[in-house]
Copies of this chain bind each other. A is one copy, B any other.
Amino acid sequence: MKNQKQIKNQKQIARELGISVATVSNALRGKGRVSASVIKLVTSRAEQVGYFPSAAGRALKTGRSNILGLVVPDITNAVFPKFAQGVEAEADKCGYGILIADSRGTQAGQNSAIRQLIQRGVDGIIVLPQRCTAPEVTSVPCAFASTPGDINNTVAANHIQGGQIAARALLDLGHRNFLLLGNDSESQVQKDRIQGMMEALEGIAQFEVCWTPDVFPDLVEKNKTGVTAILTVSDLLALRAVTQAERAGLKCPQEISVMGFDDLPLATAVRPTLSTIVPNTTELSKRLVAYLSAAIHRDVILPKPSLVDMSIILRESTGPVATHSPHSTRRLK
Contacting residue for A88 out of B54, B75, B239, CB 8 A:
B75
Instruction: Give A307 Cβ to nearest chain B Cβ, in Å.
Output: 24
Which residue of chain B is the closest to A54 with respect to CB atoms? B121
| Contacts A/B (CB < 8 Å), 8 sampled | A5-B139, A52-B119, A55-B120, A59-B59, A74-B85, A97-B101, A216-B271, A236-B269
Please tell me which stretch of A31-39, A152-160, A192-200, A241-249 contacts chain B, meaning at least 4 of its Cβ atoms lie within 8 angstroms of it: A241-249
Known contacts A65-B55, A97-B99, A139-B7; A240 and B265 CB within 8 A of each other: no
Q: Within 8 Å of chain B (Cβ to Cβ): is A286?
A: no
How many of A's residues come within 8 Å of B, CB to CB?
57
Docked-complex contact B119 and A55, CB < 8 angstroms:
yes
**Copies of this chain, tallied across the complex:** 2
Q: Within 8 Å of chain B (Cβ to Cβ): is A82?
A: yes
- With a cutoff of 8 Å between Cβ atoms, the chain B residues found around residue A54 in the complex are 60, 121
Which residue of chain B is the closest to A239 with respect to CB atoms? B270
Give A107 to B269 CA distance when docked, in angstroms.
Answer: 25
Which residue of chain B is the closest to A269 with respect to CB atoms? B236
- With a cutoff of 8 Å between Cβ atoms, the chain B residues found around residue A264 in the complex are 266
Give A88 to B101 CA distance when docked, in angstroms.
Answer: 7
Give A82 to B80 CA distance when docked, in angstroms.
Answer: 11
A71-88 near B? 1/0 per residue, CB < 8 Å: 000111110111011001
Give A53 to B102 CA distance when docked, in angstroms.
Answer: 22
Known contacts A56-B121, A81-B76; A99 and B236 CB within 8 A of each other: no
State which residues 61-116 of A face B: CB under 8 Å. 63, 65-67, 74-78, 80-82, 84-85, 88-89, 92, 97-102, 116
